Structure 1
Amino acid sequence: MSDPVIRRTTREDFVASSDPALQEAADRGDVNLLSYRELYHLWERQQWSVQDIDFSQDRIDWNERISPEERFQRMYGLSSFFLGEQRVTAELAPIMRAAPSEDMRIFLSTQIADEGRHVAFFDRFYHEVGVLEADDLQERLAESENHVNPKFRELFDEMLHERVDRLAREPEDLETMVEAVTIYHMVLEGMLALTGQHFIIEYNEQQGTLPGFVEGFSNVARDEHRHVAFGSRFLREMAERDERYRTAITRTLELVAPIAEDVLRPHWYEEGMPLFGYSISEVRAFALKALERRLKAIGLVAVG
């Protein structure tokens, strides 16, 4: 992969989000971010249904075409997403409540609905394809815990959760709100989710496997671009409002980004081993390029 810029992101429905990572002009600091009301209208136009996805071929692929060893390797990414969606669904309500404008709260309400739908998507995929033997959602989530590394829990269950708990107690604390959005939208969704989605979807398309999953996961990725576009706009506004918020963004990224990079690396990974056909350095470059574009749009990285 000669250039980590997202090839998939030329899709019109992805680009419509205004996520800076999808705009080459962001390299020059020239980016147009949608307003919160425009992002809400985009959400109305980009609805999809978990129940409409056909997983019949996916069940055949998972049980008959994909080897046990590869299924084990795939479980790291799948479990990280399944658990990650559940975690962020639970954490988003205090962020929504703390948002300083009604337009922000309306959009974040749609994001809560999105995150819940993402959990339902993974639960239906796991159940109908036979990924795990567990009988219900709670058991499938518990069994998935065996497939993620400790850095995942540190990022979601400690760093994000601590700030969200603080916001729940003090919703007027805008500095904590900035830290929470930096972790949630820039790192968890922007660095981790959209990077993993890109490579997992592309690998399945190349291998001709899991067509139902690819369809649904592409819808999930489209939602995530819209969420990250919200985070980019919010953080740009806050960085322009007060220097202490700019400092909060950079401080949080310096603390959290190294842990996020460790989450990108599965616990069973050995140096030189390809991840979905790519090296870990290529996966890392992809994530960092997208983050750089978003930071330029926020006004935190020098252009040129």
Structure 2
Amino acid sequence: MDAQQWHSHFDARQRRAALWNYAMFLTGIERIERALTAVLLAVPGHAERSFLATQISDEARSRIFFERFLREVAGQGNDTASTLRAAERHLTWGFRQIFGELDRVAEALRKKPGDRPVLAQAVSLCHVIIEGVLAIPGQHFIQRYVEKQGLLPGLTRGLSHVALDEARHVAFGMRLLRDMVSTSKDCRDAVIAMCNRTLPWMVGVFVPPGLDSSYSERFDFTLADVYAFGLKSLESKLERVGIAPRELMLLSLDDRSLSYEERAERLLVLVRAGVIGDDRREPRLSLEAFEILFDGTARALDAAVAASLGGPIEWDFTDAEPWHVIVTNGRVEAKPGRAGTPALRLEIASGDWAKVALGRSPARWALVTRKLRVHGHLPAKAKLAKLFN
């Protein structure tokens, strides 16, 4: 019945979008299945090893399920190898970065199974980031649609079983990670470093080809819905393992007084502007993107250091109107336009500043390559490195 409904009830765009989504599921599960063997050999307790053995079995069963769906329903390939090859072309930039990192961490763990911080990174990536933050929202919205429409009963039933397995895996990983984070500063720092490294890639996992909104809207949800769901899930899980969301660089720049839906819409503005989501794109900033970036810049500035400069900081963009930051009564404000007589003037292209502001490009590299030129008195210039928290 699923194969019949795939052609009779789904239009071409829906088939393309579902194929894109579940191709990433299949490839991701296959990669996790391999990585978990390294985690199994590194965990210290018998109970943990026993659980991971059952998880590897779960992943193998889920891989076979998605493989059969792609082959028997969506017509992708004629055996395991050819179906995986067919799925390869649907992988996003963010997906490739996330799973490249998973391969790297798993290999490091195989070489040093006693390295607890590396184990903490592997668990945070496998159980929290991939299964808890990416996989669950990735399947939630399409599953909701097919259940509501009464379509693809085989897929629907299988997804329900996969979701139960994922919930069990995430709960195990959260408990293990909480124990490591609470008892070891090195493990805690390693997890924060992993989250900082992968958060921009998480955003990129869900960016559809050509930013085509029909990949989600054909199933009655938007990319902003996915980001709001994932952001809420990420922050909740961080807090449960003992890490405050503000400890992550990108989350510290965000206005957490806004709703998750509002924050997701702001994130989507930056995705569309090419600031985040795919590092192969060059940023092209809209006015709204400038406003969001400078809202984050104001949050990142150390107000005391900025006030000690004796004047505003001006961004003199080579390809856009200038912006400036001032400190009034200890409060940092970012505004469009010139600053009058700035204590520091930063000369840079807007796209290059966007890369620096979100961590895509180190500020030091921008200085060395002279993409960033700093003007001002020597005492003010000497404080530049201390300006940003």
1:242 is aligned to 2:184: yes
> Aligned-pair distance for 1:151?
2.2
State how many pairs are aligned.
Answer: 246
Structure 2 letter corresponding to 1:298: V
The 5-angstrom pairing of residues 134-173 of structure 1 reads 134-156=77-99, 158-173=100-115
| SS of alignment partner, residue 178 of structure 1 | helix
Name the structure 2 match of 1:96. Answer: 40
For residues 215 and 27 of structure 2, the distance between their equivalents in structure 1, rounded to whole angstroms, comes to 25
* Letter aligned with residue 280 of structure 1: L
Letter in 2 for 1:187: I
> Aligned pair in 2 of structure 1 residues 108, 122: CA closer, same or farther (>3 Å)?
same
Aligned to 1:68: 12
Q: Equivalents in 1 of 2:45, 2:5: separation in Å? A: 47
Question: Would you say the 8 A contact 2:235–2:245 is kept in 1?
Answer: no
* CA–CA distance in structure 1, aligned partners of residues 125 and 215 of structure 2: 28
Instruction: Return the offset for 1:150.
Output: 2.5
Deviations 1:167-203 (A, max 9, x none): 1111001110111111111111011101112112101
Q: Is 1:216 paired with 2:158?
A: yes
1:107 aligns with 2:41: no
**Partner of 2:225 in structure 1?**
282
- Greater strand fraction, Structure 1 or Structure 2: 2
Q: Point out where structure 2 has 5 or more consecutive residues left out of the alignment.
A: 247-389
1:296 match? 239
Pairwise CA distance, 1:63 = 1.8
Structure 2 residue 173 is the aligned partner of structure 1 residue 228 = no
Whether the aligned pair in 1 keeps the contact of 2:131 and 2:166 (CA below 8 Å) is yes
Larger displacement relative to structure 2 (184-193 or 202-211): 202-211
| Cα distance, 1:132 vs structure 2 | 2.1
Q: Deviations over 1:54-103 (max 9, x none)?
A: xxx21111122211222112111010101111111111101110011111
- Asked if the contact 1:148/1:266 (under 8 Å) is kept, the reply is no
- The structure-2 alpha-carbon separation of the partners of 1:250 and 1:137, relative to structure 1 and needing over 3 Å to count, comes to same
Q: Identity percentage over the alignment?
A: 35
Alignment partner, residue 12 of structure 1: none
Q: Quote how far apart the aligned CAs of 1:271 are.
A: 5.7
Secondary structure of 1:278 counterpart: coil
**Which amino acid letter does the alignment assign opposite residue 255 of structure 1?**
R
Q: Which moved more, 1:167-176 or 1:132-141?
A: 132-141
Q: Does 1:197 align with 2:197?
A: no
Supply the distance in 2 between the matched residues of 1:181 and 1:114 (Cα, whole angstroms).
Answer: 17
Paired letter, 1:282:
D
Relative to the length of structure 2, the TM-score reads 0.61
Aligned-partner Cα distance in 2 for 1:271–1:143: 23
Contact 1:178 1:245 in 2 (8 A): yes
Instruction: Give the Cα–Cα distance (whole angstroms) in 1 for the partners of residues 183 and 199 of structure 2.
Output: 24
- Does the 8 Å CA contact 1:58/1:210 hold for their aligned counterparts? yes
Q: CA deviation at 1:272?
A: 8.6
CA shift at 1:211, angstroms? 1.1
- Structure with more helix by fraction: 1
- Larger RCO (CA within 8 A; separation ≥ 6): 1
Alignment partner of 2:72 out of 111, 128, 135? 128
